[in-house]
Amino acid sequence: MHAEPETHRFNTEEQITCSRYRSLLASKDRDYLLSSHGAQVKVSDLEGKVLGIYFSANWYQPCINFTKALVDAYKQLTSEGSSFEIVYVSSDEELETFDQYRSFMPWLSVPFSDLEARKALDKKFDVESIPCLVILQPDDNEEEAATRKDGVELIYRFGIDAFPFTTERLAGLEMEEKQRQESQTLTKLLINHDRDYLLSHTSPNQVPVASLVGKTVGLYFSAQWCLPCVKFTPRLISIYLKIKQNLTSDDDTKSNEDFEIVFVSSDRDQEGFDSYFLTMPWLALPFRDPTIKTLAKILDVRCIPCLVIIGPDGKTLTKNGRNLINLYQQNAYPFTDAKVGLLEKQVDEEAKMLPRSEYHVGHRHELTLVSEGTGGGPYICCDCKEQGWNWAYQCLECGYEVHPKCVRTVAKS
Ligand SMILES: [Zn+2]
Ligand SMILES: [Zn+2]
C-alpha cells in the first residue's frame, strides 16, 4: 500500500481519534494514564484503538463480578492482537482501595488523584449506575454516533465475540442468537459428545436426557460455597416436592405433564458437589461437565443461585425461576407467561385489600404500601433478603422495603 491519499486519510482519522481521546482522558497538566503497575502511558498511545471506558468501584459486588469477566475478555482479545484498550474510571473511596482494585486490572486507569477528570467523564457519559462500560470507536466522528454505553451487557452476553462492538457485528450476533433460540431443544442443551445422561440418586444412578423431553425442566445453577444458594436450596426442594405431588394427585387425563430439576453445579471440588447434590431430590449434570460452561454462556447466567425454566418444547420460558418460586411458591408452575400474568393479577387484587400502611416488627418507622405506579418497582426485601417487585411495604423515610407477605404487623409505638 503506497497511495498518498490513503496515508493522508489515515492521518486525518488519527487526528480525530487522538484529539477526541485526549480531550476525554488527558487534562491541562496530564497527558498520561496509569498502567496496572503504576507506570505512565501516553494518552496518544490509544490512537486507532477501540476504547472501553470502565466505570466501577471495589466496594460493589456487581462491579467485582463484572471486572472478572472483563479481565478474561481483555486478556483474550489482547493476546489475539485485537486493537482494544480499556481505561478505568474509579469510584473507589480512597487511594488505597483504588490501588488494590486496579492491580487486578491489566489495562489503564485515570489517576485517582484527578477527581476532576473522573467527574467530567461520569458527567460526559451520563453514568447512572456501575458497573458501566462505554465503548468508543476510533474512527467515530464528533457526533459520537457509534458510542455505546451497554458494554457490560455486551460482554456478558457475547464475551469476546462482541468485539469490535460495531453495529454490524452486534446485529450479526443478535441474529445468530435468535436462530439458536429458535432451534433450542432440551437435548441440545444438556447432552454433549461424551454424555447423553444425567446423574440420579436412584439406581442405576443415570437417567437418559431423552427421558426429560416434553417436561418442564428447571436448570438450577448453584454451588455449596455460595451462601444465598445454600439458603435457597431447601426452599426450592420443598416447592419442587409440592409441585411433583400436585402433578401426581392431579387426576386430569392430560397428566403426561411433568416437572424436573437439573442441578448445574459450580462447586469447587468433587467433595463439595457430592455432599451438596446428596441433599437434592432431583437430577444433576456431572461435576465439571463441559456442558456447564456452555449452558451458563448461552443462557446468560451471571450469578447464582439461578433457576432457568425450559418449557416442554425445549425453549427457555424464563430465567427468573428463583424469583417466581419466592413470590408464588408452587403456584408458579408451569412458569408460563400466561400463568405469571394470572398470578400478577391475583396479587393486584389481593393488594387492594391490604392496609395502606403497616408497622412491621423489624422496622421502627411506618411502612406504606407502594406499587410500581406509586414509587415501587424491583427491590430486595429487607426481611427475607429475596427479590420483590411491584407491591411492597416501603419506609418513605429511609427506603426500608419488605414483601407484603413478609410483614409481621405490630401495634404503632
Ligand atoms: Zn420478603
Ligand atoms: Zn425507616
User: Ligand 2 centre from 226 Cα, in Å?
Assistant: 30
pTM for this model (two decimals): 0.78
Q: What is the pLDDT along the chain (413 residues), one digit of tens a residue?
A: 343 334 444 444 444 445 789 989 999 889 999 998 889 999 999 989 999 999 999 999 899 999 999 999 999 999 999 999 999 999 998 999 999 999 899 999 999 999 999 999 999 999 999 999 999 999 876 667 789 999 999 999 999 999 999 999 999 999 999 999 999 999 999 999 999 999 999 989 999 999 999 999 999 999 999 999 999 999 999 999 999 999 988 665 455 789 999 999 999 999 999 999 999 999 999 999 999 999 998 999 988 999 999 999 999 999 999 989 988 899 999 999 999 999 989 988 988 899 999 999 989 999 999 987 777 778 889 998 888 878 899 998 888 999 998 999 998 75
Which secondary-structure segment (H or E) carries 11? helix 4-25
**Sequence-separated (6 or more) residues with CB below 8 Å from residue 70:** 54, 86, 133, 155
**CB atoms < 10 A from the CB of 141, how many?**
11
User: Ligand 1 centre from 368 Cα, in Å?
Assistant: 15
CA torsion 136→137→142→144, rounded to 10°?
-60
Spatial separation of the C-alpha atoms in residues 294 and 392, rounded to whole Å? 37
pLDDT in the model for residue 413: 57
CA torsion 371→373→378→382, rounded to 10°?
-30
User: Ligand 1 centre from 155 Cα, in Å?
Assistant: 32
Extract the C-alpha cell encoding 141: 466522528
What ligand is nearest to the CA atom of residue 386? 1
What ligand is nearest to the CA atom of residue 365? 2
User: Ligand 1 centre from 313 Cα, in Å?
Assistant: 33
